[in-house]
Amino acid sequence: MDEHRSVIVVGAGIIGLTTAWELVEEGWDVTLCDPEPGMGASRAAAGMLAAIAEVTWDQSALYPLMVASGRAWPELAARVEAAVGHPVGYLPVETLVCAGDAADRQALADLADLQHSLGMEIESITPSAARRLEPALGPGVVGAMRIPTDHQVDPRVFMAALLELLTPRATLVRRRVTALTRQDDRVVGVRLEDGTLLAADEVLVTAGLDAGAIEGLPPSLRLPLRPVRGDIIRVRVPERLRPLLTRTVRGIVHGFPVYLVPRADGTMVIGATSREDDLAGPSAGGIYQLLRDAQRLVPGVLECEVYEVLARPRPGSPDDVPLVGRLGPGLTLSTGYFRHGILLAALGARLAADLVAGRTPAPDVAAGVDPYRFSEVTA
């Protein structure tokens, strides 16, 4: 173990919890600060580990991060499951991507060309072949792609498992961190909302959008995080229709993305919009759009019971790439994961744990996520 042994992790979403567990496993004394662990953007997320399906144009910096983290997820899930002694919500089932009309089919084909050029595994299949795999697909499906390595995890189940593991081995403080404390040029702890001071050798900030509100960050750091809200619907599939789907079904319908993620308990997640507006809660238009497009792919969704509708703001950076790195002595930042927080948790946790411990990460990875890349002065 390196010389530092105590660390305060600020924020207990998927990134904070996974990193805290990695550090506990290394022998660190971990204090985890969050007023509501697991209740932010991670709680709303569907949990698609879609390293290939999430590839879009003009985001080349994200491609290697997504692929590397997707490959790391099976091992991470296996370690957590072995430690906790029960399933953690990880399902290694493939993803089917469908097109809702001829224009959508061409868009999928163009995207597949990009994915193939990056060496990604994706297979074009006919609509009839897709229906043999998933009989619930409707007649509106006119094209499909199979992605065998894009899996899924239930973030709520996974985070609950991490909290179960961390509870006896770490200190959980259900208070908001308002400021960092310093001794000379080194961060030595945090101040909580009630004025309590906590000390540690290292502080790791994984507080999502709230990271920028913490006092004491380096004045040279520009942290241009923006809230990108996503509407998401959870439904129960009637017993007579189960299983409605056996794998994740994503699609493009009249140019709009939609996905349906089946769970082992007979529920299903339908999502998600991506909007930058002033609506704090779910958008009526967003919910309408999701149900409209989901039923185009899988008509049976209209027979399901809606039991939850959520919208959570996700922390986006200007280039949609995370901000992960050392900010100075005793201080590390890991935020800005946008809509890829669940997928990138495996890689992000390992990277942040290495930085906290003083280990040098791979130069290509570190450069791509440099938290000072939007600042005039670098650390």
Write the pLDDT tens digit of every residue in 166-192.
999 999 999 999 999 999 999 999 999
pLDDT at 306: 98
Tens digit of each residue's pLDDT (9 = 90 or more) over 198-233: 999 999 999 999 999 999 999 999 999 999 999 999
The pTM is what? 0.96
162 and 291, same domain (yes or no): no
292 and 373, same domain (yes or no): no
Q: Name residue 145's beta-bridge partners.
A: 97, 124
240 and 307, same domain (yes or no): yes
Instruction: Give CA torsion, residues 336, 340, 345, 347, to 10 deg.
Output: -90
- Which of 316, 342, 362 corresponds to the end of one domain? 316
Alpha carbon 160 to its chain centroid, in Å, reads 15
pLDDT at 264: 92
CA distance 262 to 249: 9
3-state secondary structure of 164: helix
77 and 142, same domain (yes or no): no
pLDDT at 365: 85
Neighbours of 76 (CB within 10 A): 22
Q: Which two tokens stand for residue 44?
A: 């709303």
CATH at 231: 3.30.9.10
286 and 210, same domain (yes or no): no
Sheet holding 95-99, edge to edge: 123-125, 143-147, 95-99, 248-253, 256-262, 267-271, 226-236, 305-316
pLDDT at 4: 57
- Say how many domains are in the chain: 2
Phi, psi of 289 (to 5 degrees): -60, -45
Domain that holds residue 174: 1-91+151-225+317-379
Q: Which two tokens stand for residue 341?
A: 């927080």
113 and 202, same domain (yes or no): no
pLDDT band of residue 59 (cuts 50, 70, 90) is confident
Checking if the pLDDT of 3 tops 70, the result is: no
CATH at 335: 3.50.50.60
pLDDT mean over 20-33: 98
